[in-house]
Amino acid sequence: MRIAIIGTGNLGSSIAKGLIGNKSYTSLYLSDKNTANVDAFNTLENVTVTNDNLLAVEQSDMIIFALQPKHINSVLESVTHLITDRHTVMSVAAGVEISRIEGIVGGDKHIIRVMPNTAISIGKSMTCLAANTVAQDRLVLAKDIFNQLGTTMVIPEEQIQAATVICASGIAFWMRLVRATTQGAIQLGFEAHEAHELALQTCYGAASLLKESGKHPEEEIDRVTTPSGCTIEGLNEMEHQGLSSSLIKGINASFEKINQLKKN
Ligand SMILES: NC(=O)C1=CN([C@@H]2O[C@H](COP(=O)(O)OP(=O)(O)OC[C@H]3O[C@@H](n4cnc5c(N)ncnc54)[C@H](O)[C@@H]3O)[C@@H](O)[C@H]2O)C=CC1
Ligand SMILES: O=C(O)[C@@H]1CCC=N1
């Protein structure tokens, strides 16, 4: 598969790292106005780092547009004359609907909205996908590629905004929980580096337990909360302070914001 990434900022460079780690391409074009994040990849076999978006589109079949919503229209407009039936146009731009992309490149073109997260750089993304009518038959190929970089789920386009909040913004939400745990551990007397390691491995263990056992979180919580013990004391205090409620409210605030982006 000949892949191009247009826009190699935070997410585009993460996708590039994941693809390179996995060698999931026959050729990879990385195009940006400022290629600083990916310059080091230019020496790799079959990887081209360029400022030339047109060259990247011409030389590729699958094009991932990893641009901020405010830049995507103008970049699509500048390459649209080169987009043909062989291309699959992929966009990761939050809040940018397929209809907007169709309005620029044409409704007869193959378009897939892809919503990965930055863990794609280490092959651990949760990536959601939604395709326009024409591109339904290309979802298999898209899943093949993104499954090598984590896990995928095909969802209706209406749910992509929600998936953006849960999975893409979600990386930041989980990071903040790790940091807060670290701060607590430092207060209890651990050195910062120790606190970080304790928080991280415990977080990893919790996620792995759920993933490998398939159990509901409350079932695992019941196995930890000794009657009259310290865990239930801490959990109840966290809930009195609004832990679950604040997470749910934050997710909803994020969702409201992304729906505003959609209207811009
Ligand atoms: N950062 C994240 O974790 C996630 C971001 N997204 C979406 O991905 C998109 C990109 O986000 P980031 O990577 O964080 O933004 P970013 O600002 O780090 O990267 C955007 C890149 O586009 C480049 N660019 C701008 N105009 C260009 C042009 N005319 N030609 C070529 N390159 C150009 C910029 O130089 C920059 O490197 C956004 O639409 C965002 O909503 C989606 C999921 C997660
Ligand atoms: O914060 C944002 O708007 C983008 C989309 C999800 C992650 N970063």
HSE (side-chain half, CA atoms, 13 Å) at 158: 0
Sign of the alpha-carbon dihedral angle for 211, 216, 219, 221:
positive
- List, for residues 24-73, the tens digit of each pLDDT value: 899 999 999 999 999 999 999 999 999 999 999 999 999 999 999 999 99
Would you call 57 exposed, middle or buried from its count of C-beta atoms within 10 A (0-12, 13-18, 19+)?
buried
Q: What is the set of domains in the chain, with CATH numbers? A: 2-155 (3.40.50.720), 164-263 (1.10.3730.10)
Q: In what order do the strands lie in the sheet with 150-154?
A: 47-50, 27-31, 2-6, 62-65, 88-91, 110-115, 125-131, 150-154
HSE (side-chain half, CA atoms, 13 Å) at 46: 14
The closest ligand to the CA of 170 turns out to be: 2
Q: 69: annotated binding-site residue?
A: yes
Q: Taking CB atoms and a 6 Å cutoff, what residues make up the pocket around ligand 2?
A: 94, 164, 168-169
Give the C-alpha distances (Å, rounded to integers) separating 66 from 7, 11, 84.
5, 7, 19
List, run by run, the mean pLDDT of 10-residue segments along the chain (264 residues): 97 98 94 98 97 98 97 98 98 97 98 98 98 98 97 98 98 98 98 98 97 96 98 98 98 96 72
Task: Give the global pTM.
Answer: 0.96
Of all atoms in ligand 2, which is nearest to the CA of residue 94? 5
- ipTM > 0.95 (yes/no): yes
User: What integer pLDDT is reported at residue 264 of this predicted model?
Assistant: 67
- Distance (angstroms) between ligand 2 centre and the Cα of 124 equals 18
| Alpha carbons 161 and 140: distance in angstroms, whole number | 22
Of all atoms in ligand 2, which is nearest to the CA of residue 171? 7
User: What integer pLDDT is reported at residue 38 of this predicted model?
Assistant: 98
- Ligand 1 pocket: which of 13, 17, 32 to mutate (most atoms <8 Å of CB)? 32
The closest ligand to the CA of 68 turns out to be: 1
The closest ligand to the CA of 254 turns out to be: 2
DSSP conformation letters of 201-227: HHHHHHHHHHHHH---HHHHHHTT--T
Strands 110-115 and 125-131: antiparallel
CA angle, 228 then 231 then 235, to 5°: 110
Q: Taking CB atoms and a 6 Å cutoff, what residues make up the pocket around ligand 1?
A: 6-12, 31-34, 53, 66-69, 71, 75, 92-94, 115, 117-118, 168
- Distance (angstroms) between ligand 2 centre and the Cα of 190 equals 33
- List, for residues 98-111, the tens digit of each pLDDT value: 999 999 999 999 99
- Distance (angstroms) between ligand 1 centre and the Cα of 225 equals 43
User: What integer pLDDT is reported at residue 261 of this predicted model?
Assistant: 80
- Distance (angstroms) between ligand 1 centre and the Cα of 71 equals 8
- Distance (angstroms) between ligand 2 centre and the Cα of 224 equals 34
User: What integer pLDDT is reported at residue 24 of this predicted model?
Assistant: 82
- In three-state form (DSSP H/G/I as H, E/B as E, the rest C), the secondary structure along 26-43 is CEEEEECCCCCCCHHHHH
Long-range contacts at 95-103 (CB < 8 A, ≥ 24 apart): 95/69, 95/161, 95/164, 95/258, 95/259, 95/260, 95/261, 95/262, 95/264, 96/69, 96/72, 96/262, 97/157, 97/262, 98/130, 98/131, 98/132, 98/157, 100/73, 101/72, 101/76, 102/132
| Contacts with 17 (C-beta within 8 Å, 6 or more apart), sequence order | 120, 121, 122
Nearest residue to 94 (alpha-carbon basis) of 263, 246, 252: 263
